[in-house]
Chains A and B, each alone.
Chain A
């Protein structure tokens, strides 16, 4: 199959999924409800305390991770539950199905992150030191979550206890990407260190910021590499996963 056919088929799958989602709100409502509820619980629970940036980053990614666990498997599960998977298998190249579903999951998780991250900053009263870095960590973290979740969703979609299996399988696979996202987000949230005062503290703060920025750049590269690896290996494996 030529690449233009492949791209056109993947785009058709994406458009179909977006249209279906728009009409049913099958995944988006559940994910958003979960994310907002979890955020509210976290913010009310920790509001009396002053949290370190790494704890704040961990809270944010816990919410985003479990939102992904709630919503991202649905693109495949729904095809099996509605018994439309057979029509898709009969007509569509497996790679196009995977890419279409991946793009849909990126859009879905991206939409959730677009709501959750600003809401998190407001509820937790955080002014990120490096908004650009936070945006980069969110975008690449979303890509990492979507790329790993999509192939796992395809694997578990025909299992009976798919909800539990999905979370169990997804956690170890997602962990490397998740920890890079948390570290990059920590660096983005951490204010220019130097909580002390004076010239020495300022110098230490500058050095700390430079080190943190370098580390964060490495984490962003690791996130990008993780996503590329997941997508490439998924494309290689998907034919076996999708076929009977």
Chain B
């Protein structure tokens, strides 16, 4: 069965969304729909509004016109549940430099209502190549290590929607391979949204929004 025809599970609907900052219109009438098992790619040159659209999908910004809908089994998700339905990796996301990676993840697990077991956090860090560095302050991390930590942060609550803005930024070859593996694993059962300019990543999309064209 074509994933787009599925009625159950998670569904993301972007319905005629526009966004303006003052007189400057960043996005105009963007529409798309993705369900579990699909990848939505948002492509376009710098400044075309990719990150703005990702923020609206994450409920971090409001559209000027149109709406974004998050549905589970056909029913719209309440705002409080949308927060826990989203895992996000973005250059704009920052962690607390004065806390260690473990303390950061423990804090975000607590506010998400997870039990934040030390073994669980350690296994997350191990998965993203940060095992053994969990007690280091995040301020001492390289940009690549911070990017890996963002994946641990995004996936810790097993969200049905994974938002990836510039997913391979600052990563070395092994990091890029790890991210592609994460996307391949996640798309099997969840929605993935990727904002990128990388042709290799654009090809992953079941649905592609081309901005600024």
Residues of A near any B CB (own CB < 8 A): 1, 5, 8-9, 12-13, 15-16, 19-20, 23-24, 82-84, 86-87, 89-93, 96, 243-244
**Which A residues are CB-close (under 8 A) to B62?**
243-244
Contact code string B34-77 (vs A, CB < 8 Å = 1, else 0): 00000000000000000000010010111000000000000000
Residue contact A91 to B108, C-beta cutoff 8 Å: yes
User: Does B92 count as interface, using CB distance less than 8 angstroms?
Assistant: yes
Shortest A94–chain B CB gap in Å is: 10
Whole-angstrom distance between the alpha carbons of A197 and B103 in the complex? Answer: 65
Of B97, B107, B112, which one neighbours A16 at CB under 8 angstroms? B107
Residue contact A84 to B60, C-beta cutoff 8 Å: no
A-B contact pairs, 8 of them (CB 8 A): A5-B113, A20-B98, A84-B94, A84-B96, A87-B108, A91-B108, A91-B111, A93-B83
The answer to whether A83 and B108 touch (CB under 8 A), given A1-B80, A93-B83, is no
Residues of B in contact with A, size category = 20 to 34
Identify 4 new A-B residue pairs, CB closer than 8 A, beyond the known A8-B110, A9-B110. Answer: A20-B96, A87-B95, A90-B93, A93-B83
Residue contact B60 to A244, C-beta cutoff 8 Å: yes
User: Does B86 count as interface, using CB distance less than 8 angstroms?
Assistant: yes
A89: nearest residue on chain B (CB-CB)?
Answer: B60
Residue contact A20 to B99, C-beta cutoff 8 Å: yes
**Which B residues are CB-close (under 8 A) to A93?**
80, 83, 111
Residue contact B112 to A24, C-beta cutoff 8 Å: no
Shortest B95–chain A CB gap in Å is: 7
**Which A residues are CB-close (under 8 A) to B113?**
5, 8-9
**Which B residues are CB-close (under 8 A) to A244?**
55, 60-62
Total contacts A-B at CB 8 Å: 65
A26: nearest residue on chain B (CB-CB)?
Answer: B98
The answer to whether A87 and B60 touch (CB under 8 A), given A8-B113, A13-B111, A93-B83, is no
Whole-angstrom distance between the alpha carbons of A84 and B60 in the complex? Answer: 13
Chain B 71-125 interface residues, beta-carbon cutoff 8 Å to A: 80, 83, 86, 88, 90, 92-99, 103, 107-108, 110-113
Shortest B185–chain A CB gap in Å is: 22
Shortest A12–chain B CB gap in Å is: 4
Closest 7 pairs (CB-CB, A-B): A12-B110, A83-B94, A92-B111, A23-B98, A244-B61, A16-B107, A9-B111
Max chain A Cβ within 10 angstroms of own Cβ: one of B55, B94, B96, B97 = B96
Of A16, A19, A83, which one neighbours B92 at CB under 8 angstroms? A83
The answer to whether A87 and B99 touch (CB under 8 A), given A9-B110, A244-B60, is no
Residue contact A82 to B94, C-beta cutoff 8 Å: yes
Residue contact A87 to B94, C-beta cutoff 8 Å: yes
Residue contact A16 to B96, C-beta cutoff 8 Å: yes
A4: nearest residue on chain B (CB-CB)?
Answer: B113
Of B83, B97, B108, B110, which one neighbours A82 at CB under 8 angstroms? B97
**Which A residues are CB-close (under 8 A) to B98?**
19-20, 23-24
Residue contact A19 to B83, C-beta cutoff 8 Å: no
Chain B 115-169 interface residues, beta-carbon cutoff 8 Å to A: 153
Shortest B109–chain A CB gap in Å is: 9
A244: nearest residue on chain B (CB-CB)?
Answer: B61
Residue contact B94 to A90, C-beta cutoff 8 Å: no
Residue contact A91 to B83, C-beta cutoff 8 Å: yes
Residue contact B99 to A19, C-beta cutoff 8 Å: yes
Whole-angstrom distance between the alpha carbons of A24 and B137 in the complex? Answer: 12
Residue contact A91 to B112, C-beta cutoff 8 Å: yes
Shortest A134–chain B CB gap in Å is: 36
Whole-angstrom distance between the alpha carbons of A9 and B113 in the complex? Answer: 8
B154: nearest residue on chain A (CB-CB)?
Answer: A90
Shortest B143–chain A CB gap in Å is: 14
Shortest B65–chain A CB gap in Å is: 15
**Which B residues are CB-close (under 8 A) to A1?**
80
**Which B residues are CB-close (under 8 A) to A87?**
93-95, 108, 153
Residue contact B96 to A82, C-beta cutoff 8 Å: yes
Residue contact B83 to A86, C-beta cutoff 8 Å: no
A12: nearest residue on chain B (CB-CB)?
Answer: B110
Shortest B17–chain A CB gap in Å is: 14
Whole-angstrom distance between the alpha carbons of A142 and B31 in the complex? Answer: 51
